[in-house]
Chain A
Amino acid sequence: MPPLLHLQDLSKRFGQVVIADGLNLEVEPGAAVGIVGPNGAGKTSLFGLISGDLRPDHGAVRFGGRTINRLDGAARCRAGIGRTYQVPRPFEGLTVFENVLLAAQQGAGAKKNASYALAGQALFRARLSAEANRSAASLGLLQRKRLEVARALASRPRLLLLDEVAGGLTDPEVRELVEIVRAANADGVAIVWIEHVVRALMATVDRLVCLAGGRFIADGTPTDVLASPAVREVYLGTAMDLEVPA
C-alpha cells in the first residue's frame, strides 16, 4: 500500500527565503505526525504546498498514490485533505453551523440531510454544538480554532493538517483540543500537526519531524527528536520550551 501522503523532492522559495529544499516525507494512513521548527521555518508554507494554496517550484505532492500537483485547493480537499489555518478563516457572515455545512456539502460532497448530519457531527466532535446558531464573527479565539477543526473534519478528510491550533490557549483548553484531535485520529484520520505547544504534540503524535532551513533535520519518536543535538541547536537562544514533560 502506498503512503497516504508522499512528498517527493519538494522545493519552494520566496525570493531569497528557502521554504522547502528538496523535502521528502511519507505519512502512512492513520498516522499521527507532529511538525516543529523555528518561527519562519516554512511550516505553514509546507501546508500550503500540501493543501494546494501554494505551488512548488520542484518536486511532487502525492496523495493516496497519485500525484496531485495539478489539483487546486478545492479538489485536494475533496480528495481527502482537510486543513486548518494558523490564523483562523471563519466565514463571518455565516453562522457556525453554516461554516461547517459548507465543508460537509463541498468537501465531503454530502447533500441535504446527510450534509446536515455530517455538519452536526463535526460540530459535536469539536464541541461547538452549543454555538451552532451563533454568528461566526462573534466567536473568540478558542472557538475560532475549534471551528477550523470542525470545518476540516466535516469535509471527511483522510488527512488532517492542523496548523498551531493549540497556540494561545490555556492548559485546560489545550487538553480538550488534544482530545478532539485524538478522537479524529482514533477514527482513522491521519494527523499532521504543526505546533509550538510541545506538550500538546507529546500527548498526540508518535512521530515528530523538525523543519529548519527548508529541510527536515530530524525525524523519529518525539522524545528522540526533541533530544537530538540538531534540533536543540536550531532552538538555541529561542524562547521555545523543548523540555520533554515527565
Chain B
Amino acid sequence: MSTTVTDATVPPLAPTTASSTLRVVRASRLPNWLTPILAAAGLGLLAFLPAFAPQSETALFVNVFVLLTMALMWNLLAGYAGMVSIGQQAFVGLGAYGVLIFAKSGMEPVASLPLAAIAAAIIALPVSLLVFRLRGGYFAIATWVVADLAMQVIDSISAVGGGTGENVPGLSSLSPAAFGRVTYFAALAVVALALAASYGLLRSRLGLVLAAVRDDEVGARSAGARVMRARRIVFVVAALGCGAAGALLAVSQLQVQPASVFNVQWSAEMIFATLIGGIGTLEGPILGTVIFFVLQQNLANDGAWYLIIFGSLAVLIAIWAPKGIFGLIDRRFAISLFPLGHRVEHLSRPASAPPAPVAANPTSSRGGAVGAAGPPA
C-alpha cells in the first residue's frame, strides 16, 4: 500500500508548519494499480470476444452494454444527485430517433450515434428547467410525463414513421457478421465511456459537491456549492448516456418504433439493475446488470415466473439490503474498485517511515479511508 496514487504534493500548511507537507491521495484498501489493470483486462477480453463468440452471443452483449449504460446513468441521477427519474426512456427514445433522423438524411448510422446522444442531451436542458421545479415524487412523475409527451410528439410525426416507426437505412448493406461486429464495438465503446465518465465525474469537484449535497443541502450551499448547477449537469450527462443507449438500440435493431424505444420498461430495467446491484456505488450497476441478464437468460422461457422472481428479488433487496448486493459485499470486505475519497498524508515524518495505517472507513460512502494522520506541526 505504499504505492498510493499521488494527486498532489502541496506546499506547507502554514509558515509555522514548515516541516509538514500535505499530500492528498485518492485510494482505497485495494492496491491502486488494480483498477486500471482490471479495466484494461476486462476491456481487452471484451474486445476479443467477437473473434471467437458466435453472433448470437455478441448480440446479447450489446443488450448487456445498453442496459449497463442506462443503469450507470440512473445511478448518477438517483444514487448521487438524488433525482429519482422514471422518465429516462424519454432520452432513450430521442437517441434512437436521432439515429433514424440522421440516417435518413444520409449519415452513417454508427457515425450519427454521438450526434444523436448529444441531441438528447441538448433537449435535456430545457426539460430540466421544467422538471427541476418539482421535488421527490412530483419530480419522478414529471419525468414520466415528459417521456410520454416525447413519445406522443414522435408518434404524430409521419415523416419518421408515426406510430409504426421506421427501419434505419444504411446498415442493411453490411454482411450479418460485419454488422454484428460494428454494433458490438459501438456498444462496447459507449459503455466504456459511460463508466469512465461516471467515475471521472464522481472523482471531480462536482462529485464532491454531489456527496456533500446528499448529506446536507443547506450546509453545502453555505459552503458555496451550486446545487442546481450540479444537478443540471448530472441530468444532462444522464440524458447523454441514455441517448447513446437509445442510439445503440436503433443501430442494433435496425428499426425504431415509438412504443418500444419510449417504453417505461427501460426505466424499470435500469432501476432494477441499479437497486439490486447497489445504488450509490459504481460497482453496483455493473453487478446488477449482470444479475439481471443471468436471470433473464435462465428464466425468460418460464413466462410469468420470470416477472414474479424479478419482482420478489427487488422487494427482498429493498427490505434486507437497501444498498444492494454490492453494499453487502462492501460492508463485509470494504473493497472499492473505484475509490472516490481523499486521504491526507502529512509528510512531516521521514520518507522511509511506514505510511499511515489504512482502514476502510465504514461510514464514508465514498470509499475514503481513515488513516492516522501525523501531527500538524
**A interface residue numbers (CB < 8 A to B):** 51-53, 72-75, 77-78, 83, 85, 89-95, 97-99, 101-103, 105-109, 111-117, 120-121, 123-125, 127, 129-135, 137-138, 151-152, 154-155
3 smallest CB-CB distances across A and B, nearest first, come from A107-B224, A129-B376, A89-B219
Q: Are B366 and A74 in contact (CB under 8 A)?
A: no
Chain A residues within an 8 Å CB radius of B214: 93
Chain B residues within an 8 Å CB radius of A120: 10, 13, 22, 344
Q: Are A78 and B224 in contact (CB under 8 A)?
A: yes
Kindly provide the distance from the CB of A55 to the nearest chain B CB, expressed in whole angstroms. 14
Q: What secondary structure prevails in chain B residues at the interface with A?
A: mixed
Interface size of B by CB at 8 A reads 48
Q: Which residues in chain B, 334-377, are within 8 Å of chain A measured between CB atoms?
A: 341-344, 346, 356, 361, 363-366, 368-376
Q: Choose among A75, A77, A116, A130 the residue that contacts B22 (Cβ–Cβ < 8 A).
A: A116
Q: Are B22 and A94 in contact (CB under 8 A)?
A: no
In whole angstroms, how far apart are the Cα atoms of A189 and B13 in the complex? 19
Q: Choose among A94, A129, A138 the residue that contacts B212 (Cβ–Cβ < 8 A).
A: A94
In whole angstroms, how far apart are the Cα atoms of A157 and B370 in the complex? 29
- In the complex with contacts A130-B376, A132-B373, A93-B363 CB distance below 8 A: yes
Q: Are A103 and B366 in contact (CB under 8 A)?
A: no
Other 12 A-B pairs with CB < 8 A, given A116-B7, A132-B373: A73-B221, A77-B222, A89-B216, A91-B215, A91-B216, A93-B214, A93-B365, A97-B342, A102-B220, A129-B373, A133-B371, A151-B223
Chain A-chain B contacts (Cβ-Cβ < 8 Å), number: 165
Chain A residues within an 8 Å CB radius of B8: 112-113, 116
Q: Choose among B223, B227, B366, B369 the residue that contacts A93 (Cβ–Cβ < 8 A).
A: B366
In whole angstroms, how far apart are the Cα atoms of A85 and B223 in the complex? 11
21 A–B contacts, CB within 8 A, in A order: A89-B216, A90-B216, A91-B216, A91-B220, A93-B214, A94-B364, A98-B208, A102-B223, A102-B224, A107-B223, A113-B9, A116-B8, A116-B342, A117-B13, A124-B13, A129-B346, A130-B375, A132-B346, A133-B368, A135-B361, A135-B370
Chain B residues within an 8 Å CB radius of A121: 13-14
Say yes or no: is B265 at the interface (Cβ < 8 Å to chain A): no
